């Protein structure tokens, strides 16, 4: 496995970029730039391309609604060029809270749109004239679909550095996981629990892999997690409390009843009763009660928190479950401690 890291720039992006150089020297393999409704990820990734030399750079994630497929492809080709072939295009459907609430776009057909976006991106990178007749995207847009009829099937002017830029799909729903295994170089789940991964994702991964083209290679699995390597029990408890709040927020509050992907994942993991209680309490405004309802064993499965021996065992558990990249948020008392955490994880993963 390799070690990745989401870039946390809440304290200032330039400061975070300065610190990234130390993580790169410590063995960090990939950094993922988030984009929800903060600063855009693209300008930040261009800045990182100029500041770094070896670490791969990924969007984590760009939603498939707020940019056209062609713009996603153009952006990826540009970032791949300025980074000398180090870019990874991470995309996902996001959710209605962001897509409809922040962008004012209709959140519909995430599965079908994602498939068409991936297909169009690869056409752009191969410099094919864009002639595409999909259910959600028609290129050129003709009069039948609301266009003027003046559009032409254009191809990318520049020659991309690579005609196949790696794409990673962030997904946890069964159909989207199958799509990732079928059509993408990588799959990025959230709240990945190795002990329950086969039950939750096994059938979907198998269905997707059965349709996978050989040129895609083996499916890369990039898992988000939190890591704190410490003998201090009080610090462990504090970190796990933060993980508990994070799980409660997503399982309880990221969506309405029947429309929460993270709640459905907890159910597939076998925590149906806990998932219902977390959601009921969270939506009723009882955030503390929702957090208290998060099962203790689930926290220890999705996070790497404990002494060095415990964390090393958990790293092996992730590897045994097929994970190829641990995308880690390192927790320590200072920057040097966080760098040491990444260095230790890189050694454990070898």
Q: What local confidence, expressed as pLDDT, does residue 259 receive?
A: 85
- The answer on pLDDT for 256 being more than 90 is no
Question: Same domain for 174 and 301?
Answer: no
Q: What local confidence, expressed as pLDDT, does residue 59 receive?
A: 97
Q: What local confidence, expressed as pLDDT, does residue 203 receive?
A: 98
- The answer on pLDDT for 171 being more than 90 is yes
Question: Same domain for 20 and 64?
Answer: yes
Encode pLDDT of 323-349 as tens digits. Answer: 999 999 999 999 999 999 999 999 999
Average pLDDT of the residues in 307-311: 98
- pLDDT-derived band at 16 (thresholds 50, 70, 90) equals confident
Question: Same domain for 197 and 60?
Answer: yes
H/E run at residue 220: strand 220-229
Question: Same domain for 218 and 324?
Answer: yes
Q: What percent of the chain lies above the pLDDT cut of 90?
A: 93
Encode pLDDT of 25-60 as tens digits. Answer: 999 999 999 998 888 999 999 999 999 999 999 999
CATH number, position 81? 3.20.20.30
Average pLDDT of the residues in 233-255: 96
> What are the helix (H) ranges across the chain?
13-25, 41-51, 69-82, 96-99, 110-125, 174-183, 194-209, 233-248, 261-268, 272-283, 287-292, 296-302, 308-320, 335-349
Helix (H, G, I), strand (E, B) or coil at 296: helix
Question: Same domain for 51 and 197?
Answer: yes
Q: Are residues 231 and 199 in contact, defined by beta-carbon separation less than 8 angstroms? A: no
User: Peptide bond preceding 61: is omega within 30 degrees of 0, i.e. cis?
Assistant: yes
Question: Same domain for 212 and 247?
Answer: no
User: Rounded to whole angstroms, what are the CA distances from 39 to 13, 78, 83, 263?
Assistant: 10, 19, 20, 28
- pLDDT-derived band at 184 (thresholds 50, 70, 90) equals very high
Q: Are residues 322 and 313 in contact, defined by beta-carbon separation less than 8 angstroms? A: no
Range of the domain at 235: 230-305
Q: What local confidence, expressed as pLDDT, does residue 36 receive?
A: 86
The 3-class secondary structure across 42-110, one letter per residue, is HHHHHHHHHHCCCCEEEECCEECCCCCHHHHHHHHHHHHHHCCCCEEEEEECCCHHHHCCCCCCCCCCH
Q: What local confidence, expressed as pLDDT, does residue 9 receive?
A: 75
Q: What local confidence, expressed as pLDDT, does residue 306 receive?
A: 98
User: Peptide bond preceding 15: is omega within 30 degrees of 0, i.e. cis?
Assistant: no
- pLDDT-derived band at 271 (thresholds 50, 70, 90) equals very high
C-alpha triplet 165, 317, 245: angle, nearest 5°:
85
Question: Same domain for 298 and 334?
Answer: no
Question: Same domain for 74 and 189?
Answer: yes
Encode pLDDT of 88-134 as tens digits. Answer: 999 999 988 899 999 999 999 999 999 999 999 999 999 999 999 99
Judging by DSSP bridges, how do beta strands 138-139 and 132-133 pair with one another? antiparallel
Question: Same domain for 95 and 203?
Answer: yes
Average pLDDT of the residues in 283-297: 97
Question: Same domain for 102 and 127?
Answer: yes
Mean per-residue pLDDT over the chain, rounded: 96
pTM of the model: 0.94
Question: Same domain for 131 and 273?
Answer: no
| Total domains, the chain | 2
- The answer on pLDDT for 10 being more than 80 is no
Q: What percent of the chain lies above the pLDDT cut of 70?
A: 100
Average pLDDT of the residues in 225-253: 97
Question: Same domain for 260 and 140?
Answer: no
Sign of CA dihedral 200, 206, 208, 212: positive
Q: What local confidence, expressed as pLDDT, does residue 8 receive?
A: 79
């Amino acid at each position: 496995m390799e070690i990745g890291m989401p870039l946390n720039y809440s304290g200032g992006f330039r400061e975070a970029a300065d610190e990234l150089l130390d993580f790169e020297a410590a063995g960090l393999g990939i950094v993922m730039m988030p984009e929800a409704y903060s600063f855009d990820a693209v300008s930040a990734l261009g800045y990182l391309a100029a500041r770094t030399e070896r670490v791969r750079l990924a969007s984590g994630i760009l939603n498939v609604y707020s940019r056209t497929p062609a713009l996603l492809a153009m952006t990826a080709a540009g970032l791949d060029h300025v980074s000398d072939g180090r870019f990874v295009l991470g995309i996902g459907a996001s959710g209605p809270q962001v897509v409809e609430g922040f962008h004012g776009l209709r959140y519909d057909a995430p599965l079908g749109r994602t498939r068409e976006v991936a297909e169009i991106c690869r056409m752009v990178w191969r410099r094919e004239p864009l002639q595409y007749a999909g259910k959600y995207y028609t290129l050129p847009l003709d009069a039948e679909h609301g266009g003027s009829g003046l559009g032409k099937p254009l191809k990318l002017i520049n020659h991309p550095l690579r005609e196949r830029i790696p794409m990673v799909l962030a997904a946890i729903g069964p159909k989207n996981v199958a799509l990732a295994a079928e059509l993408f170089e990588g799959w990025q789940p959230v709240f990945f629990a190795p002990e329950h991964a086969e039950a939750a994702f096994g059938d979907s991964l198998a269905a997707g892999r059965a349709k996978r083209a050989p040129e895609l290679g083996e499916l890369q699995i990039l898992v988000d997690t939190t890591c704190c390597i410490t003998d201090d029990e009080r610090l462990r408890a504090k970190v796990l409390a933060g993980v508990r709040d994070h799980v409660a927020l997503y399982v309880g509050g990221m969506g309405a009843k029947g429309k929460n992907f993270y709640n459905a994942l907890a159910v597939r993991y076998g925590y149906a009763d806990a998932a219902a209680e977390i959601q009921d309490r969270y939506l009723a405004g009882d955030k503390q009660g929702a957090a208290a309802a998060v099962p203790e064993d689930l926290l220890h499965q999705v996070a790497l928190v404990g002494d060095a021996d415990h964390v090393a065992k958990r790293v092996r558990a992730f590897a045994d479950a097929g994970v190829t990249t641990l995308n880690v948020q390192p927790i320590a008392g200072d920057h040097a401690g966080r760098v040491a955490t990444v260095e230790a994880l890189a050694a454990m993963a070898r």
